[in-house]
Amino acid sequence: MPDRNWIDLKQDPVSGIETMRAHFEGHAYDPHWHDSYLVGLTEQGVQQFNCRRQQYNSTPGKVFLLEPGDIHDGHAPEVEGFTYRTLYIDPHWLDRELRAQFDEAPDNAQLSVAATLADDRRLTIATANAFEALHSDELLIVRQTALDDLLSTLTRHLRWRTLISPDPRLPLVAQRARDYLHSHMHQDIGLDDLAHAAGVDRFRLTRAFKAAFGLAPHAYLIQLRLSRARRLLARGELPVSVAAALGFADQSHMGRWFQRAYRMTPADYRRRCSNLPD
C-alpha cells in the first residue's frame, strides 16, 4: 500500500515563522512539543490529537492553538486521513508584536492560550490568509498585512499569564528534575543522576515526573534535544554536527527520533528551512 502522507514546509525569512501544510492517514506522529506557538487550521478530515490530558477532534474550519512546550500527538481516526496547515510562531516575535496590540501588557507575564481548539470564523479566515501569504512568498507588505490581521484576531484567544517560579501546580521533585535535564541536556544523563538532583529515589522520581509532564524523563530528554535540533538545523548546521552537539549516539540515532516526532528527516528539515545548499 503506497504511503499517501506528505509534508510541505517553508520558512518566512523576515519573521522566521515556519508554515507547514501536511496530510496524514492513520498514525501521524508521536507525542512531542515545539518551542513555538502553533496556530493551525484543519483543512480536511478529522485531526485527532491529545494535549493537556484531553483528546481533541479538529474538523474543517476549526483552529488549534498550542503553547510552547505543549505535548501533543497526531492521529487520523478516519480512513481518508486529515489535511492541515500550521504556522509555527517564535515566542519572542509574538510577544513583541502583540504587546503593541494589547492595551495593557504586564511586565512579568507570558502569553497563554485561552482554549486549545477554537471555532471562530474570523480566526479561521485570518489564519488561512496569513498561511497563504507566507507560504506563497507574497510581497513583504502583503505578508505583514496578513500577519497583522492574524495577530489582531488572536488577541481574543490569548491572555497574559503571570510568570511563577517555581510553579506551585507542579511537584518540586518534578521541577528539579526538569531543570536538571535542561541544564545537562547535552550529557549522557542517567536516572541516578536525575534522582540525586531531585532528592528522591529513581522510582519516585519517574512517577512524579510522568504525572507532572506526561512523559517519562528519558522521553522528555529526547524531545528537549529534538526541539533544540530544529533550531540548529534551521540555522543551517549539518545534521551530523547537531547530533554530536546534542548528545545523540550518532546522526542516524537523531534521525530516527526526528522522523518519529516530525515525520521528516533532519536533512530535509534543514533544506526546507535554512535556504542553504546541501
What is the tens place of the pLDDT at every residue in 53-92?
A: 899 999 999 999 999 989 999 999 999 999 999 999 999 9
Q: Which among 222, 15, 53 is positioned nearest to 135, based on CA atoms?
A: 15
Q: Is 52 left (phi over 0), alpha (psi -120 to 50) or beta?
A: left
Question: Percent of the chain beyond pLDDT 90?
Answer: 67
- Is the torsion defined by CA of 21, 232, 246, 94 positive or negative? negative
* Mean pLDDT value across the chain: 90
Kindly report which listed range (11-15, 24-28, 140-144, 168-172) carries the lowest average pLDDT score.
168-172
**Which domains does the chain possess?**
6-162 (2.60.120.280), 172-274 (1.10.10.60)
CA angle 165, 171, 173 (to 5 degrees): 95
> What is the end-to-end Cα distance of the chain in Å, rounded?
31
CA angle 241, 193, 244 (to 5 degrees): 5
Q: What is the pLDDT of residue 278?
A: 41
How confident is the model over 128-133, as a mean pLDDT?
A: 98
Strand order in the sheet with 18-24: 6-11, 18-24, 82-89, 37-44, 63-66, 117-118
Q: Tell me the β-bridge partners of 18.
A: 11, 88
Cell of 112: 497563554
Q: How many CB atoms lie within 10 A of CB 60?
A: 15
What is the tens place of the pLDDT at every residue in 221-260?
A: 999 999 999 989 988 899 999 999 999 989 999 999 999 8
d(Cα 161, Cα 110) in Å, to the nearest integer? 5
d(Cα 250, Cα 240) in Å, to the nearest integer? 7
Whether residue 24 is predicted with pLDDT greater than 90 in this model: the reply is: yes
What is the tens place of the pLDDT at every residue in 154-174?
A: 989 988 877 655 555 558 888
Residues 46/77, Cβ–Cβ less than 8 Å = yes
This prediction's pTM: 0.83
Q: Which among 249, 278, 272 is positioned nearest to 22, based on CA atoms?
A: 272
Residues 185/224, Cβ–Cβ less than 8 Å = yes
Whether residue 194 is predicted with pLDDT greater than 70 in this model: the reply is: yes
d(Cα 21, Cα 6) in Å, to the nearest integer? 8
